[in-house]
Amino acid sequence: MADATLVEFVKAALSLGESRARIAEALKKAGWPQDQVEDALDAFADIDFPAPVPRPRVYGSAREAFLLIVYFSLLGMAATQVGGLAFAFIDRLFADDLARDMDAWRWASSGLRWSIAALLVGYPIFLMLGWRLAARKRRDPERRRSRVRAWLTYVTLIFAAGAFIGDLVAVVFQFLDGGLSTRFAAKAGVVGAISAAILWNFSREAERTSAGADHAGRALAALSTIVVIALVAWAFTIVRGPENARNRIADEARVTNLIAMTRLADCHYTYFDRLDANFAAMQTALTERGARLPVAAGCAEPYPLDPATGAEYGFRIIDDDTYALCAVFEGGWPEGDGAGAPARRTINSYYSPANEQRTLQLPKGPGEACFTLDAVKFETDAAPA
């Protein structure tokens, strides 16, 4: 894009009857770059007419399309991740005792970490691109005629309008159906607020003709930034840091290992009608039996070790069919299941006739935790393959 002063000079020189070659030569001697000189001359049609005839400006370069596509893509990403964090906050604030397990899944730490990462990387780039594109429009108001900008703006408005209308329909339906809970209303408010903000800002921007600073848009950007910072800061209090994430992965692996060990204990109790003093002895007995006779799936698997230290888990027999399993956890589950109750895992005894349900109540903090469990016998013919 040629400098506005350069374009005015070319216009005046053409009006005086100067040839394009002489104008180009003069400008090059003055130190103007070749590309800007050519752009300034190309701004006027080379036709026989008493006055310079300007060419119509059409903005749609590949560079501009790239910036706008990235900008609107980041807008969608930011809106989605802000909504996700807001939903997680609402689930935490208005926890439903009847859906604790579902709540624990909805705002799992991995999901919060993904939203934090997306906003920490994408939101500053979104703000920078928005500032840069706005500055270009202020310097050259003709950029508002960009076809790429117009198409992307109205496509965004279509999605925002659809989300807003769908949100209102859902609220009315839940109200008529008697299911308008506080949590649903809060989440509907989040969707409505995000879609309404996008609709207001970009519909106003599509019709805006002033080349001055957009103070209303800046105020919305500042408010949005405050909301993003607040939600990310809250999410950090839940997920804490990378070390906590590694500890949680290791602790979840320990829980999975303990559940797998209950299967081995059930296998030994089923085939030998007793429990041995340690898992090494039980595994040896099951392996020897598996070499001679068929055993149920999983009964000949090696017993797992601690994923971080490689140490054996604690085990002691309490009575004929009751035992304790112990593990040292690095972080525990201080936030519980997300609904105010202690975190827990259910051991599904689907292979037993009575389908006994055994539960591990997980510790709130680091350290050793022991779980008292009953060995379960299963019908070997009905054992899962």
Q: Domain limits at 17?
A: 4-54
pLDDT score at 353? 55
- Give the C-alpha distances (Å, rounded to integers) separating 168 from 90, 212, 248, 316, 322: 19, 35, 39, 59, 56
pLDDT score at 211? 59
Last residue of a domain, one of 205, 239, 273: 239
Average pLDDT on 211-240 reads 85
Higher pLDDT, 226 or 207: 226
Measured CA to CA, the distance from residue 94 to residue 116 in angstroms comes to 22
Smallest CA-to-CA distance from 304 within 367, 254, 375 is with 254
Residue 326 scores a pLDDT above 50:
yes
Chain-centre distance for alpha carbon 110: 9
Residue 6 scores a pLDDT above 60:
yes
pLDDT score at 109? 61
Higher pLDDT, 234 or 380: 234
pLDDT digits (tens, 9 = 90+) for 13-45: 888 888 889 999 999 998 888 878 887 888 888
Asked if 328 and 221 sit in the same domain, the reply is: no
Average pLDDT on 231-253 reads 82
Residue 86, φ and ψ in degrees, nearest 5: -65, -40
pLDDT score at 197? 92
Higher pLDDT, 347 or 1: 347
Name the residue type at position 121: V
Asked if 76 and 218 sit in the same domain, the reply is: yes
Q: How many CB atoms lie within 10 A of CB 26?
A: 14
pLDDT score at 377? 85
Asked if 273 and 367 sit in the same domain, the reply is: yes
Last residue of a domain, one of 184, 211, 239: 239
Average pLDDT on 142-157 reads 77
pLDDT digits (tens, 9 = 90+) for 336-370: 655 455 788 888 766 655 556 788 889 988 999 99
DSSP 384: -
Last residue of a domain, one of 186, 220, 239: 239
pLDDT digits (tens, 9 = 90+) for 118-130: 999 999 999 999 8
Chain-centre distance for alpha carbon 185: 22
Band of residue 151 on the pLDDT scale cut at 50, 70, 90: confident
Average pLDDT on 136-163 reads 78
Measured CA to CA, the distance from residue 199 to residue 158 in angstroms comes to 9
Average pLDDT on 48-66 reads 75
Asked if 101 and 194 sit in the same domain, the reply is: yes
pLDDT score at 99? 45
Smallest CA-to-CA distance from 266 within 361, 358, 371 is with 358
Asked if 84 and 223 sit in the same domain, the reply is: yes
pLDDT score at 210? 61
Asked if 368 and 250 sit in the same domain, the reply is: yes
Query: What is the pTM assigned to this prediction?
Result: 0.58
Type and span of the H or E element at 345: strand 344-348
Which positions ≥6 away from 357 have C-beta within 8 Å? 346, 347, 348, 349
Average pLDDT on 75-98 reads 82
Hey, which of 56-70, 200-214, 317-331 has the most confident mean pLDDT?
A: 317-331
Q: How many domains does the chain have?
A: 3
pLDDT score at 78? 93
pLDDT digits (tens, 9 = 90+) for 168-191: 888 888 877 777 788 888 888 999
pLDDT score at 209? 58
Asked if 135 and 272 sit in the same domain, the reply is: no
Residues 95 and 89: beta-carbon distance below 8 Å: no
Asked if 93 and 222 sit in the same domain, the reply is: yes
Higher pLDDT, 327 or 248: 327
Exposure on the CB side of residue 102, measured as CA atoms within 13 A: 6
pLDDT score at 54? 82
Asked if 247 and 185 sit in the same domain, the reply is: no
Q: Residue 91 burial by CB count (10 A; 0-12/13-18/19+): exposed, middle or buried? A: buried
Residue 102 scores a pLDDT above 50:
no
Which positions ≥6 away from 330 have C-beta within 8 Å? 247, 250, 251, 308, 366
pLDDT score at 103? 41
CA angle 315, 318, 298 (to 5 degrees): 50
pLDDT score at 332? 85
Asked if 175 and 234 sit in the same domain, the reply is: yes
Chain-centre distance for alpha carbon 352: 40
Residue 47 scores a pLDDT above 80:
yes
Asked if 12 and 70 sit in the same domain, the reply is: no
Band of residue 132 on the pLDDT scale cut at 50, 70, 90: confident
Length of the chain: 385
Cross-strand partners of 315: 325
Asked if 163 and 213 sit in the same domain, the reply is: yes
Band of residue 228 on the pLDDT scale cut at 50, 70, 90: very high
Three-state SS for 315?
A: strand
Higher pLDDT, 381 or 241: 241
Residue 331 scores a pLDDT above 60:
yes
What value does the mean pLDDT of the chain take? 82
